[in-house]
Structure 1
């Protein structure tokens, strides 16, 4: 039993009426899909990850599955991220492992067990320099962030304890400024950090605070920013 995904084409000048026909239907996952992310450099290549613990990489132009990573994750996949040129992906899984995977070879090239020892969900993203940035929870249920070098995952380059709030920290990364913005569902603040290649590597910059707790977060594409007001992120 397949659980299909559909891809829709938004007209150039925006929606004027409801769309009824998808461009393509992608069939391959057997359970709900929670993660979809476009390849950063190749046209029409889409990655999806589902509750069936599978990652599928699609050719959206033809609707066919190019790569099917079935045996890599034994449990629910929390996050998937391409590296800058799309040659590797990093994943965070419920089995407490961070993995760096070469999807073409279908090989794990680096992994770290218990990157964060707490039982709550982790997130992992690639930075522009090829390092991996993760968020998770310590054994004492403190929220943590960490920086890893895939060439040596034994110890993190840097690890920070944040607080004891229970919202999963979602990282939003800007490769142009090398800044990471951390948001949490239920939080009323957004913290931001600069990542550098000198100690302490992860530098706290500031916190944006509001009275309303966040319910969900999204990142404005760069073309939507007001450069006349020197806006670098929204």
Structure 2
């Protein structure tokens, strides 16, 4: 296979998205006065859905994040209630795609926690999570919800392991142990049957998550890969990283053959991490650099050159991270096809940025709003764990056809049960963990935490790797 080296020069072509432009919300529709975290961990520190905006903040004595109703714009008071149950800095937060008031967080205290936000938002500080999940022996840097199955959560820790949690029972059910260094990014394909990861060991992997089997692996010796994203149903992956000449670059891969990238393109000589965002409905790729003020966007095609430059949104304010609104939360009457929530640390500001297709007609534009994954899960945890795969349940964005999910998070049974993985009881003979591993105030493994709240440990399960 030959690698196509792409020129940095824009490739202009005919496209309905050729003139997409970014529109920043007016100051009164931004969120101001927020003490955005100064943590240097390479995450977005922001998560958004159609009801709430969550932002990781600076705090003393542990980790915390704000949860703000979207209609509560303007300046946020310094004493605004926080979610503050972690004993270490919060490193990642993600909303449940099917239950809009449930959010997962992970932290330097080696825990993953599930929070249920009350209707209307917080009235006081929230310190009690509905589930506390301890399975990693070191801090947890990433959490991801399964895209088609309710209550299946993935977590990646600095112990080089990915744990799969079934929140219906509050237990870990699988472990993926194929990485030799810290996991930098996780991405699912459309039906969640494949997981792609990037790792500090300079390898890109495509994994079958239920077995833990590595299907494809690329050793990127000449460059470093940082982020990866599946490009919808195209059976292709896109990675961002740094070339051997220390320039930022993207690479396109065939998920069934990672021996060599299909194309590589150098972006610029800046040093900030490139975050990729892909919209499968419009086939548009957005690239936003950490510390940059601009967002480049491209159109992904099925034929060479595969990645075609469209335009660039420019701003003088550098971004620390970006949250993305789900498609069913966009304003279709304004022809909005994507919306970012940009974290501007120096100003303590969250700016909504709408990507808009300029159209004169005010009627619903079906060509830019195809059926899109909705708010109903396609599978139960038991169905997915048994080996079933199913595409997302689609919904129309046309007014009057939207349906909101009525799923409610149910706390698992209260009785404590053994966690048996691969014939090993993971709660037996668990040694105490050191302060360096889990933090001074972290609870011990296997301890009951109260009604409906438990923690589970896989600290001694070195043998229980890929199942």
**Counterpart pick for 2:125 among 12, 15, 18:** 18
The secondary structure found in structure 2 opposite 1:104 is coil
The superposition leaves residues 120-176 of structure 1 with CA deviations (integer Å, 9 ceiling, x where unpaired) of x51111111221110011100111101100222122122111111001101111111
Q: Are residue 29 (structure 1) and residue 136 (structure 2) matched?
A: yes
Tell me, which stretches of 5 or more residues in structure 1 are unaligned?
A: none
Is 1:75 matched up with 2:184? no
Residue in structure 2 matched with residue 50 of structure 1 by the alignment: 157
Structure 2 match to 1:201? 306
**Higher mean C-alpha displacement, 180-189 vs 216-225:** 216-225
C-alpha distance in 1 between matches for 2:314 and 2:176: 40
d(CA) in 2 for partners of 1:67 and 1:173?
Answer: 28
CA contact (8 A) 1:142 1:164 kept: yes
Matched ranges for 1:28-177 at <5 A: 28-70=135-177, 72-114=178-220, 117-119=222-224, 122-128=226-232, 129-177=234-282
Q: Using the TM superposition, give the Cα deviation of residue 69 of structure 1 relative to its aligned residue in structure 2, in angstroms.
A: 1.3
**What displacement does 1:183 show?**
0.8
Give the distance between the partners of 1:228 and 1:207, measured in 2 at CA. 23
Are the aligned partners of 2:140 and 2:157 in contact in 1 as well (CA < 8 Å)? yes
Q: Which has the larger radius of gyration?
A: 2
Q: How far apart, CA to CA, are the structure 1 residues paired with 2:119 and 2:303?
A: 44
2:23 aligns to what? Answer: none
State the Cα distance separating 1:13 from its structure 2 match: 4.1
Quote the Cα distance in structure 1 between the aligned partners of 2:153 and 2:256. 27
SS class of match (1:223)? helix
Q: CA RMSD in A?
A: 1.5
Which residue among 208, 216, 222 is the counterpart of 2:321?
216
Native 8 Å contact 2:249 2:264 kept in 1: yes
Structure 2 Cα separation of the partners of residues 222 and 15 of structure 1: 25
Aligned length: 230
* TM-score (norm. length: structure 1): 0.93
Secondary structure (helix, strand or coil) at the match of 1:101 reads strand
